[in-house]
A and B are shown apart, each in its own frame.
Chain A
């Protein structure tokens, strides 16, 4: 047994330093040179202020913005740290709703959201991704259908022509990679930034 202790300790420490310190630090160093933007979180600045990350969704509630998908993330309750409160798009505590297919809470939530969206735009069918919470609670995207569904509301709130807003959605729609990989999608934050910069006229 004793004669195994030396190799056990030496190999363990040697490989731990190589894989646990040398490797991640080397990758961090190379990434900082080759891909500094991505390595720091694909942050977006406006007027010198960080407004978010291109990869992380954020909470939109005003009519003048496109809204992303429901988010189930939470944060500690400031009044009682043993409890949590709803905090949509909390990018320091990613999570999904974890509600199952026969959950009454889920059925009620979806029904309420669908009813609300139907009053906003009775003309179109409600897209499924607009009433289902994402896995991370931070989904930066929505489907093109979900964006088009919200065009009448956004156009009205901003006094823009619907056709102009629809065209803006079209230019922000990303197709499948090479025509087969992934799903068509719209980045909500980038679309809203484009609106703020005067897009959609």
Chain B
């Protein structure tokens, strides 16, 4: 570890904190339907879309209607991607002549993109046409991110409103979020990325003759427009197979730094939106503080583990840390930081191969996802996941003093706690359940690339990442098989929607409640005690659930490595 490394980490954290309030303020205005500086240009587009759709801007929806609208919207999104992939050979913008994608792989990919996972069982440059990348994947990069944000906003409205029947209008929320928040950031962002060297072309792959006279085919494409939203929307599906490690997808240290910022900025700002909407920004800062504690702990361990290198390297006297699977322009620190950022959020873009990380360095991304990606988290999804833990935390605090728990003026009752537990418990079932099946099912075992405990880690990582809707991978595992395509799609689907439905039920239940003014007996949720208790609850729930599985994978591998074993 170096001083310059820590300076990069510190500046990164400072910028995120500094952006949270201004971005949060702007987002709050958008969701409250107030005028913004973009209204003169965008209002006519917005109004036109409502007219075509027959949507009345001022009519709000019950939580169940809101949820049904969201689900219907996703059915449509699923078919767009699936059919584009199956028929890409007959459609335009296919200069590389990509052939139709097989049904299981198309199914897996379509589920993957509507759930904001962006798991890659395909290699972008070797499988997909430009049309699929744009109309299929880029569009769903926007819409799945927007969905996460508006669902979190619906939940926040549940906390903020008193005796209300409705929590917003899904159609209005997604239209505003796309037009006023994501697109206006993506346009200058994509141009910045191109300026730094990212390709953006519809031209065919380039044939070069290398200095030694060999032929090199260089894949290009409309990369920048997709990468901008891939990061901002915490989607993470790469244009290229190597994702953000590919020099075209992440050309410089500066693009790498900005990409990391853009992964976390909206998630961090959502905590501020929460604070503003419930009328006390300190409530938002308390949640961000709890996220920050977990984030910095993860970065410290990951950076330390990667900088220390592996036994294989150290025995040969190779100094400089574990560079296998990492790029020189990023080095150890920016690779370790990126790995923590991308799994703290539900992004899943990678700028280094996690499969080649040290045992403990690779365990941190896994833990981040197993906790449910609530450490800042995916846009929206992180905040609503975190609020589920907040519900549990105030419930535990209530048990300690024997009072009905309250949070931001709302009584948290048995029904709400049950729903929160339902949302929290589904992730371990998908992650551990499918892992258990895969490691005893011979065709699934055959996909494992690394022998020994690392092989188990590959499978555990795969289902952890998919159920948490992350999308990063221990890439050695051959995921493009019928078993992994189908089981992974189920894990992604359940991991997304089984969390959303109970969460929306809580939103509806909270909105209908009266606001209870704080009294002397109210547990303050803006101080250090609450932050500590929240972090404690998260670590205890996560630790009890996942420690046994982690012991079989990364922990035993670390001990084996220290003993000098190879497999």
**Contacting A27 at CB < 8 Å: which of B187, B245, B358, B561?**
B187
**Contacting A185 at CB < 8 Å: which of B126, B206, B224, B328?**
B328
With known contacts A35-B195, A110-B316, A102–B561 Cβ distance under 8 A: yes
Q: Do the beta carbons of A6 and B199 come within 8 Å of each other?
A: no
Which residues B13-61 have CB closer than 8 A to chain A?
49, 52-55
**Additional A-B contacts beyond A4-B72, A23-B186 (16; CB < 8 A):** A7-B54, A10-B52, A12-B76, A15-B175, A18-B178, A21-B134, A34-B194, A40-B206, A41-B248, A96-B475, A98-B449, A100-B474, A129-B328, A134-B245, A139-B247, A143-B328
Can you list 5 A-B contacts (CB < 8 A)?
A: A4-B72, A15-B142, A25-B134, A31-B224, A53-B208
Max chain A CB contacts within 10 Å: which of B135, B325, B335?
A: B325
- Chain A to chain B: the 4 pairs with minimum beta-carbon distance, closest first: A182-B253, A20-B139, A135-B245, A98-B476
Q: How far apart are the CA atoms of A125 and B434 in the complex, in Å?
A: 46
Seen from chain B, the residues whose Cβ lies within 8 Å of a Cβ on chain A are 4, 7-8, 11, 49, 52-55, 65, 68-69, 72-73, 76-77, 80, 123, 125-126, 134-136, 138-139, 141-143, 171, 174-175, 178-179, 183, 186-187, 190-191, 194-203, 205-212, 214, 216-220, 222, 224-226, 229, 240-242, 245-248, 251-254, 256-257, 309-313, 316-331, 334-335, 350-353, 355-359, 362, 449-454, 457, 474-476, 557, 560-561, 565-567
Whether, in the assembled complex, A142 has its beta carbon less than 8 Å from a beta carbon of chain B, the answer is: yes
A178 → chain B closest CB, angstroms: 9
User: For residue A94, which residue of chain B has the nearest CB?
Assistant: B242
B237 → chain A closest CB, angstroms: 14
Contact partners of A25 in chain B: CB under 8 A? 134
**Contacting A15 at CB < 8 Å: which of B143, B195, B330?**
B143
Contact partners of B245 in chain A: CB under 8 A? 94, 96, 134-136
Q: Do the beta carbons of A106 and B312 come within 8 Å of each other?
A: yes
**Contacting A21 at CB < 8 Å: which of B11, B135, B171?**
B135
Q: How far apart are the CA atoms of A69 and B246 in the complex, in Å?
A: 14
Q: Do the beta carbons of B202 and A28 come within 8 Å of each other?
A: yes
Q: Do the beta carbons of A183 and B328 come within 8 Å of each other?
A: yes
Contact partners of B247 in chain A: CB under 8 A? 55-57, 136, 138-140
Contact partners of B142 in chain A: CB under 8 A? 15, 19-20
**Stretch in A44-52, A149-157, A162-170 with 4+ CB within 8 Å of B:** A44-52
Seen from chain A, the residues whose Cβ lies within 8 Å of a Cβ on chain B are 1, 4-12, 14-16, 18-21, 23-28, 30-32, 34-35, 38-43, 49-62, 65, 69, 89-104, 106-107, 110-111, 114, 125-129, 131-143, 176-177, 180-183, 185, 189, 192-193, 196
User: For residue A36, which residue of chain B has the nearest CB?
Assistant: B201
Q: Do the beta carbons of A132 and B326 come within 8 Å of each other?
A: yes
Q: How far apart are the CA atoms of A129 and B194 in the complex, in Å?
A: 27
Q: How far apart are the CA atoms of A186 and B312 in the complex, in Å?
A: 26
User: For residue B205, which residue of chain A has the nearest CB?
Assistant: A92
Max chain B CB contacts within 10 Å: which of A8, A26, A127?
A: A8
B310 → chain A closest CB, angstroms: 4
Q: Do the beta carbons of B312 and A107 come within 8 Å of each other?
A: yes
Contact partners of B183 in chain A: CB under 8 A? 18-19, 23
Contact partners of A14 in chain B: CB under 8 A? 49, 52-53
With known contacts A20-B136, A53-B208, A31–B191 Cβ distance under 8 A: yes
Contact partners of A189 in chain B: CB under 8 A? 211
With known contacts A51-B210, A102-B560, A110–B312 Cβ distance under 8 A: yes
Q: Do the beta carbons of A39 and B200 come within 8 Å of each other?
A: yes
A151 → chain B closest CB, angstroms: 18
Q: Do the beta carbons of A27 and B209 come within 8 Å of each other?
A: no
Q: How far apart are the CA atoms of A151 and B355 in the complex, in Å?
A: 33
Contact partners of B225 in chain A: CB under 8 A? 23-24, 27-28
User: For residue B257, which residue of chain A has the nearest CB?
Assistant: A181
Contact partners of B178 in chain A: CB under 8 A? 15, 18-19
Max chain B CB contacts within 10 Å: which of A7, A95, A143?
A: A7
Contact partners of A89 in chain B: CB under 8 A? 216
Q: How far apart are the CA atoms of A44 and B355 in the complex, in Å?
A: 33
User: For residue A103, which residue of chain B has the nearest CB?
Assistant: B450
Q: How far apart are the CA atoms of A14 and B231 in the complex, in Å?
A: 23
Contact partners of A128 in chain B: CB under 8 A? 309, 313, 318-321, 323
**Contacting B210 at CB < 8 Å: which of A5, A31, A58, A133?**
A58
B32 → chain A closest CB, angstroms: 20
Contact partners of A1 in chain B: CB under 8 A? 68
A142 → chain B closest CB, angstroms: 6
Max chain B CB contacts within 10 Å: which of A18, A38, A114?
A: A38
**Contacting B218 at CB < 8 Å: which of A23, A28, A91, A110?**
A91
User: For residue A113, which residue of chain B has the nearest CB?
Assistant: B316
Q: Do the beta carbons of A27 and B214 come within 8 Å of each other?
A: no
B192 → chain A closest CB, angstroms: 10
Q: How far apart are the CA atoms of A103 and B362 in the complex, in Å?
A: 14
Contact partners of A106 in chain B: CB under 8 A? 312, 324, 356
Q: Do the beta carbons of A114 and B174 come within 8 Å of each other?
A: no
**Contacting B241 at CB < 8 Å: which of A12, A95, A196?**
A95
**Contacting B327 at CB < 8 Å: which of A5, A41, A101, A134?**
A134
**Contacting B318 at CB < 8 Å: which of A32, A96, A131, A185?**
A131
With known contacts A10-B52, A97-B325, A51–B312 Cβ distance under 8 A: no
Contact partners of B68 in chain A: CB under 8 A? 1, 4
Contact partners of A27 in chain B: CB under 8 A? 187, 190-191, 194, 200, 222, 224-225
User: For residue B251, which residue of chain A has the nearest CB?
Assistant: A55
Contact partners of A39 in chain B: CB under 8 A? 194, 199-201, 224
Q: Do the beta carbons of B355 and A50 come within 8 Å of each other?
A: no
Q: How far apart are the CA atoms of A14 and B350 in the complex, in Å?
A: 31
With known contacts A8-B69, A40-B201, A176-B253, A94–B240 Cβ distance under 8 A: yes
Q: How far apart are the CA atoms of A140 and B216 in the complex, in Å?
A: 14
B379 → chain A closest CB, angstroms: 15
User: For residue A139, which residue of chain B has the nearest CB?
Assistant: B327
Q: How far apart are the CA atoms of A51 and B329 in the complex, in Å?
A: 22
Q: How far apart are the CA atoms of A18 and B202 in the complex, in Å?
A: 18
Q: How far apart are the CA atoms of A175 and B23 in the complex, in Å?
A: 33
A79 → chain B closest CB, angstroms: 19
Contact partners of B55 in chain A: CB under 8 A? 7, 11
User: For residue A99, which residue of chain B has the nearest CB?
Assistant: B356
Q: Do the beta carbons of B254 and A41 come within 8 Å of each other?
A: no
